[in-house]
Amino acid sequence: MKLNILVVEDEPILREDLRAFLRERGHRVRAAEDGRRALAQLDEEEADLVLTDLRMAGMDGLELLDRVQSDHPGTLVIMLTAYASVENAVEALRRGAVDYLLKPVEYEELALRVLRLAELRDMQRENQLLKRQLHLREPSRDIVARSPQMQEELRTIDTVAASDGTVLVLGPSGTGKELVARAIHSRSPRCDGRFVAINLAAVPETLLESELFGHRKGSFTGAIRNKEGLMTAAGGGTLFLDEISEVPLHLQAKLLRAIEEREVQPVGSVDPQPVDLRLIAATNRNLEEMVEAGLFRQDLYYRLNVVEIRLPALAEREEDIPPLVEHFIQKHAREMKKPVRAASPEVLRLFRRHRWRGNVRELENAVERAMIFCDGEILLPEHLSSQLVARSEEEGLPEALKEAVHVFERRHIQRQVELSGGDKNLAAQRLEISLSSLYRKLEE
Ligand SMILES: Nc1ncnc2c1ncn2[C@@H]1O[C@H](COP(=O)(O)OP(=O)(O)OP(=O)(O)O)[C@@H](O)[C@H]1O
Ligand SMILES: [Mg+2]
């Protein structure tokens, strides 16, 4: 368990002692005599751990701690401090140091603490590794896909995740476009990087350029300091451009250049900065039509559409409804701490008949709502909103009056029997018909 350690100490003898001791214990150790030089060394090569003195001329230990945290977020800091400044040590912990040691340094104690940090780091790495292996064994486990169309899209997701290619996710509202984008990221080699999402319809046009590419201090009124754009923030990870159709034309050109050159030019800057990210874009609009109408640049469209994933409306994949319902029941039962286990066959029939204009999102909301009203283990039609029941009924009825009445009668009887828990006597009473005519109708 070797760590890459940077010792920062202005007192030369102590600095050398610390370096020699930690080296002897098998770590890779560098040393710096002040904060400024320490930062320069970190820029050259990252360290796992910075062991720094608190009191130093120029930049003190606390300031160094802040800089390490903002510029080298993966690096841990241990503060060395004399008895006289224990309050400062506490302050250091509050600001994010992982530990502190009192001077004079107890070397065995130091070795022990460093060892503990090394174990912690190894555990974190192992954890990440395990997470990745889980993903490999259970492909796209959050995406429910029983229909052949969705199975096909799942295969595309699995293949494209392994590459770095740009992906365009298309589909009507609520079909799972963002879910797919997140799945691609979490199953890609960039899964330890960030997944940064921006909804392009939600950012005012005047702010969009600076949001995406960043800006330099003073480049416009209100730009009081340099700001990193989202394309830079997503470095090493994935940038999800949601509602891509909403990028104004003049920014489309800049976006295209950024993608092609793999660099961004912050507002007010002349130096382009390299960016390293995977792009995923999504829209529920027809981009091809927008290209034809001159509202979307064709070259950008081709750039984004390297791999295309088309999510069908829920109505085109009815067989996904039962497993989706099961998935949402499990998800919300856990959250709501309710014992709901399943939906009754009648609820599933209603769900299959309903026209889900809001697609999977609307279905999830319907399940969630029903679960709120459900006290038992099974979701029943009475737990659904009455509009949903009424609408499903109407939508499923044939046009001819005689047939429609017949279908309605059958469904109504089935529902009353179900609501009576299968008790036909009770159902007959509710329907205000005799038991024998109920039996006759059931046989029909
Ligand atoms: N195949 C699926 N399996 C499991 N959950 C799904 C599936 N598809 C969608 N969902 C869930 O439905 C909800 C809506 O999905 P999402 O936000 O990804 O849709 P969207 O296509 O981005 O919608 P919009 O166009 O409105 O932005 C989310 O809670 C998501 O987890
Ligand atoms: Mg979305």
At 257-275, the pLDDT tens digits run 999 999 999 999 888 889 9
Which residue segments constitute the domains of the chain, with CATH numbers given?
Answer: 4-128 (3.40.50.2300), 142-312 (3.40.50.300), 316-443 (1.10.8.60)
Q: Give the model's confidence band at 131: pLDDT under 50 very low, under 70 low, under 90 confident, else very high.
A: low
Best probe residue, ligand 1, of 143, 146, 178, 332 (max atoms within 8 Å of C-beta): 178
CA of 52 to the centre of ligand 1 (A): 48
Q: Give the model's confidence band at 138: pLDDT under 50 very low, under 70 low, under 90 confident, else very high.
A: very low
User: Measuring from each residue's beta carbon to the nearest atom of ligand 1, which residues come in under 6 Å?
Assistant: 143-145, 171, 173-179, 284, 324, 327, 360-361, 364
Please identify, by atom number, the ligand 1 atom nearest to the C-alpha of residue 171: 21
For residue 211, what are the contacts with CB-CB under 8 A and spacing of at least 6?
198, 203, 229, 230
CA of 163 to the centre of ligand 2 (A): 23
The Cα 71–Cα 310 span in angstroms is: 39
Of 22-26, 64-68, 326-330, 383-387, where does mean pLDDT reach its minimum? Answer: 383-387
- How, if at all, do strands 167-170 and 195-199 pair? unpaired
CA of 257 to the centre of ligand 2 (A): 25
Mean predicted confidence (pLDDT) in 324-333 = 94
User: Which ligand is closest in space to the CA of residue 360?
Assistant: 1
At residue 385's C-alpha, the angle toward residues 379 and 389, to 5°, is 85
**pTM for this prediction:** 0.63
User: Which ligand is closest in space to the CA of residue 175?
Assistant: 1
For residue 224, what are the contacts with CB-CB under 8 A and spacing of at least 6?
217
Residue 137 scores a pLDDT above 50: no
Residues β-bridged to residue 310: 170
CA of 321 to the centre of ligand 1 (A): 13
441's tokens: 């109708």
Cβ–Cβ under 8 Å, residues 125 and 192: no
pLDDT of residue 134: 53
For ligand 1, atom 16: residue with the closest CA: 176
pLDDT of residue 139: 46
Residue 89 scores a pLDDT above 60: yes
CA of 345 to the centre of ligand 1 (A): 24
DSSP strands (E only) in 107-255: 167-170, 195-199, 214-215, 227-228, 238-242
pLDDT of residue 6: 97
Q: Give the model's confidence band at 226: pLDDT under 50 very low, under 70 low, under 90 confident, else very high.
A: confident
